[in-house]
Amino acid sequence: MKRGYKAFASMNIAIVGNEKITSVWAQSLALAGHQVFIGIKEDEQITLSFFADEFENIMVTTIADAAEAADVIILATAPQDVREASYLLDDVRSKVIIDNSYLSYRFSDVYLNTINAVKAITGSPYVVKCFQGLGFEPIPRGKNADDHTVFVAGDSSKAKAMARFIARDLGFDGFLDFGGSDSSALLDEMAICYHQLKSAKPPKVDEPLVWVGRRA
């Protein structure tokens, strides 16, 4: 039996990118009442088709068809894949595009200005860059959501409003406007710091620490 969904305040949302992120976000947005289109390349082999049987408001289709049907497009790719994904969107000059590409040195050690690439390729003026401090998987709704914040940078107030709405439905209550498109590089720096902190480990100590200072 397919899962139903709320019929109010819904949007058509396309998600293109990492399979793990896409699957989690698609479920969260579908349960929040949105019609979700998962965009994949025509020759792509992924395991997302089961959503069509489980959710009546999730559809797996080509990237171009997903973009055409959507009001908002979320790019959740690695930075080096943003250009290709943007070209595959086809004509999206009137669409809101949320660039949620993330930096990972496992894939690239070269900084890529993805928000400007998306704007140049798509011709859409409604593009913003987002970064969430939690990482790349949204937390379940209702579980300490207010402890985590989404940061957004871009020049479009319309796109920022849409991003705020979607962030809320993904379970993030904190939302901060980080400035214009020229501030997007700072969000990527935050992503670098996040990765560094995530992999950081306390130093190994071979011998017990000895207090040598004056005690109060």
Using CA atoms, how far apart are residues 94 and 97, in angstroms rounded to an integer? 9
Q: Is 210 domain-assigned?
A: no
In this structure, the strands spanning 72-76 and 58-62 are: unpaired
- Domain enclosing residue 16, as ranges: 12-199
Q: Is 112 domain-assigned?
A: yes
- Interior angle at CA 192, CA 120 and CA 92, nearest 5: 20
Q: Is 77 domain-assigned?
A: yes
> Residue 200 has what pLDDT?
67
Q: Is 147 domain-assigned?
A: yes
What is the CATH number for 122?
3.40.50.720
Q: How many CB atoms lie within 10 A of CB 104?
A: 16
> Residue 49 has what pLDDT?
62
* pLDDT digits 0-9 by tens, 29-51: 999 999 999 998 877 666 666 66
* pLDDT digits 0-9 by tens, 145-174: 445 788 899 999 999 999 999 998 888 878
Neighbouring-strand partners of residue 60: 38
* Average pLDDT value for residue range 117-136: 85
Q: Is 206 domain-assigned?
A: no
Q: Is 21 domain-assigned?
A: yes
Q: pTM higher than 0.85, yes or no?
A: no
Q: Is 123 domain-assigned?
A: yes
Q: Is 204 domain-assigned?
A: no
What is the maximum alpha-carbon separation in the chain?
A: 70
Higher per-residue confidence, 4 vs 154: 154
String of DSSP letters for 121-179: HH--S-EEEEEETT-SSPPPTTSSGGG-EEEEEES-HHHHHHHHHHHHHTT--EEEE--
Number of domains in the chain: 1
> Residue 1 has what pLDDT?
37
